[in-house]
Amino acid sequence: MKASHNPNADNSQAKAQATLAMAARDWTEALRLWKLWWSSHPQEATKDPDAMHDRAVSHFHCEEPGKALEWLDLAAALQPEYSYRYASRGWMKQATGDTPGAIADYQRAVQLDPEDAVTWNNLGLLEEQMGYQAQAQERYKISDELMGILQERGIDTENAPPPTTPLDAPTLDPTSNHENLSFWGECSRALRTSEGRAELWTFIKNGFTLRG
């Protein structure tokens, strides 16, 4: 049953439906449902950083990056010690051309989670773009060492099977240097849980790191 626009209706399923719409890459519908759930469950919504994050993703894919960043700011404010909040916001800043802002968020992310190989690599890329060659090479070294540890633990970063629900990359400015990016893929990545680090290879192989 489709969630109702009637403010008096039971819209408790809107959140689940929004998640399904995101999985189907129907970003307009996802954003509509997130707004509906917010209006009908304001107290719950304001305490849910994951919902804020997913609403941000929907705004981003609906070509509203400013609003998307506002929601990521709120999510980070609720979980200031969670590295993923900064890694995902850093990616969005990188995708929208805010290189200094992206670097600051990536630095905070790896400070909180020194084992985040993808973010170390992305940090190195941006520092290299800014002319900080020595720093960038150090970031790459750390990233490569962490990827080696993953392989030693039996995580095949070259031949692992593809994710079960690969999603399309957003349409970005064709003049941008950021190619083959998939924000939904990044935001769904396994860094949300320690077990999920086995999926790091997906984002590297999909070009998320922009390296090579």
CATH number at residue 37: 1.25.40.10
Give, in degrees to the nearest 5, the angle at Cα 210 between 206 and 212.
95
Quick one: pLDDT at residue 133? 55
Using an 8 Å Cβ cutoff, are 143 and 121 in contact? Answer: yes
94 contacts: CB under 8 Å, gap ≥ 6: 102, 122, 126, 178
**One-character DSSP codes across 131-171:** T-HHHHHHHHHHHHHHHHHHHHTT--TTTPPPPSS--PPPP
How many angstroms separate the CA atoms of 151 and 198, rounded?
9
In a domain, 66, yes or no: yes
In a domain, 131, yes or no: no
How many angstroms separate the CA atoms of 56 and 69, rounded?
7
Write out pLDDT tens, residues 147-179: 554 455 554 444 443 332 223 333 334 334 333
79 contacts: CB under 8 Å, gap ≥ 6: 49, 85
57 contacts: CB under 8 Å, gap ≥ 6: 22, 68, 183, 184, 187
How many angstroms separate the CA atoms of 81 and 8, rounded?
37
Range of the domain at 53: 13-80
Percent of the chain residues topping a pLDDT of 90:
38
* Mean pLDDT, the chain, whole residue set: 69
In a domain, 204, yes or no: no
In a domain, 55, yes or no: yes
3-state helix, strand, coil in the chain (%, to 5): 65, 0, 35
Cβ count within 10 A of residue 146 = 19
Cβ count within 10 A of residue 76 = 21
In a domain, 45, yes or no: yes
Number of domains in the chain: 1
In a domain, 155, yes or no: no
Residue in 171, 204, 167, 207 with CA at minimum distance from that of residue 65: 171
Quick one: pLDDT band at residue 12, thresholds 50, 70, 90? low
In a domain, 54, yes or no: yes
Write out pLDDT tens, residues 13-33: 899 999 999 999 999 999 999
Q: What pTM, to 2 d.p., does this model score?
A: 0.64
In a domain, 2, yes or no: no
pLDDT at 37 over 80: yes
